């Protein structure tokens, strides 16, 4: 009797394990099919257009945050708010480990939209010209997929709706809030107007550069144009500073200072800060002016380089292959843009990738940060499916 029970138990386990494995692999395709359903796609399009019509700058995303919370409420998903001022962090699953994060940035840009369509920005001088309205929509789409398939979840998926990516370092504020202390890995995406819909692009290691800003104040002495010898012209000094700083960029390209994709980034920032500050002060002095230089403030922190975790790279390739087909998973060279997603990567393994959204009807799509930028809404189901599949499979693989 005891022997029979023992054998029966072994047979049950051996039969169930393959079924679980097959289910996790097949769900990637199921997620995409679900996201492409007319009612789901139309729902995402409606959210995206509502956000696009009402763009908000960094740390001012109050209405965007409200839209997100309303949709999470409808889905029955719990969340914390406010995080970093306007941010929202939602939770789907058991509330137990493992915890994996999915991130979307919410902020718009200070520019006038030049695209004429029915859902053009209603706010003068503000526009979603970087696709963040699409990123938010895709994460809400992922939330809908995950809620629908919650029986497949192992652990908890953390939805990070983040403010102020465009220079404000909102990711750092989210990290500093402690809201992600249990998260063991995080994934983020960005739309790519120049690549085909249905393809994703990424790489292991450094993928995006570090960036930062500084403020230089050059002080001279006013005077009359008829007696210029009595004045000290700060404009002339500033002009020479600009030219000299451009030379620093050239020197950087010639490897005279570390690369902005350097690991560790601190080496690059140290050298750039020192050299730039010296150039500004020296040029001001040559022209009899005074100069002060301030690097990296709380409002505008330096962004580290975005460096994809090597372990997560294999996970991404496997999941993307399941969702899109291996032929649509592409490697890319490092790109000199910057992303505050890198702040998450400083405290946990993180992975950032680009998702194609090229509209074949538009032979020469406008680039990111262009007033003519157009988001192809056909990308929305792909982003939603990719993010949800990455999270579910990560938690399944790390469930102990």
Distance CA 373, CA 66 (A): 25
Q: Which helix (H) or strand (E) holds 215?
A: strand 214-219
- In whole angstroms, how far apart are CA 23 and each of 12, 19, 20? 17, 6, 5
**Under 8 Å between Cβ of 374 and 359:** yes
Q: Which helix (H) or strand (E) holds 6?
A: helix 2-35
Distance CA 120, CA 208 (A): 30
| Residue 52, annotated as binding a ligand | no
**Under 8 Å between Cβ of 221 and 366:** no
| Residue 149, annotated as binding a ligand | no
DSSP readout, 178-201? TTTTTEEEEEEEEEEEEEETT-EE
**φ, ψ dihedrals at 216, nearest 5°:** -115, 130
Tokens 């009807």 belong to residue: 361
DSSP E strands, 288-349? 290-295, 306-308, 329-331
Residues 6+ apart with CB under 8 A from 303: 169, 210, 211, 212, 338, 339, 340, 342, 343
How would you classify the pairing of strands 329-331 and 156-162? unpaired
**φ, ψ dihedrals at 6, nearest 5°:** -60, -45
| Residue 130, annotated as binding a ligand | yes
| Residue 398, annotated as binding a ligand | no
Coil, helix or strand for 295? strand
Backbone φ/ψ region at 147: left (φ over 0), alpha (ψ -120 to 50), beta: alpha
- In whole angstroms, how far apart are CA 20 and each of 15, 88, 215, 399? 9, 32, 56, 13
| Residue 166, annotated as binding a ligand | yes
DSSP E strands, 298-388? 306-308, 329-331, 350-358
Distance CA 133, CA 14 (A): 46
Binding residues, by number, are: 130, 132, 166, 190, 369
Binding residues for Mn(2+), by number, are: 130, 132, 166, 190, 369
């Amino acid at each position: 009797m005891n022997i029979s029970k023992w054998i029966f138990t072994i047979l049950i386990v051996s039969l169930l394990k393959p079924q679980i494995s097959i289910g996790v692999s097949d769900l990637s395709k199921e997620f995409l099919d679900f996201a492409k359903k007319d009612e789901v796609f139309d729902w995402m399009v409606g959210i995206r257009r509502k956000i696009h019509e009402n763009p908000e700058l960094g740390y001012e995303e109050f209405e965007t945050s409200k839209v997100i919370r309303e949709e999470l409420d409808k889905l029955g998903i719990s969340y914390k708010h406010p995080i970093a001022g306007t941010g929202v962090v939602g939770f789907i699953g058991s509330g137990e480990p493992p915890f994996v994060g999915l991130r979307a940035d919410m902020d718009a840009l200070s520019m006038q939209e030049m695209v004429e369509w029915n859902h053009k920005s209603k706010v003068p001088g503000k526009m979603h010209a970087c696709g963040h309205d699409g990123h938010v929509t895709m994460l809400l789409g992922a939330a809908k997929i995950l809620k629908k398939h919650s029986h497949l979840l192992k652990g908890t998926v953390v939805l990070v709706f983040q403010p102020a990516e465009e220079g404000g370092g909102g990711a750092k504020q989210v990290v500093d809030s402690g809201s992600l202390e249990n998260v063991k890995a995080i994934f983020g995406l960005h739309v790519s107007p120049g690549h085909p819909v249905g393809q994703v692009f990424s790489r292991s290691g450094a993928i995006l550069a570090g960036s930062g800003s500084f403020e230089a104040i050059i002080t001279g002495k006013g005077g009359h144009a008829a007696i210029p010898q009595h004045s000290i012209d700060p404009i002339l000094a500033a002009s020479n500073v600009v030219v000299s700083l451009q030379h620093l960029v050239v020197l950087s390209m010639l490897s005279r200072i570390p690369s902005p994709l350097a690991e560790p980034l601190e080496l690059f920032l140290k050298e750039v800060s020192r050299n730039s500050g010296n150039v500004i002060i020296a040029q001001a002095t040559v022209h009899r002016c005074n100069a002060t230089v301030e690097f990296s403030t709380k409002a505008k922190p330096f962004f580290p380089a975005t460096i994809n975790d090597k372990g997560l790279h294999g996970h991404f390739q496997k999941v993307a292959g399941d969702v899109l087909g291996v032929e649509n998973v592409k490697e890319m060279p490092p790109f000199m843009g910057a992303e505050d997603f890198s702040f998450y990567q400083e405290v946990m393994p993180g992975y950032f990738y680009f998702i194609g959204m090229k509209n074949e009807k538009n032979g020469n799509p406008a680039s990111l940060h262009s007033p003519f930028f157009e988001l192809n809404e056909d990308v929305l189901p792909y982003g939603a499916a990719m993010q949800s599949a990455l999270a579910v499979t990560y938690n399944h693989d790390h469930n102990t």
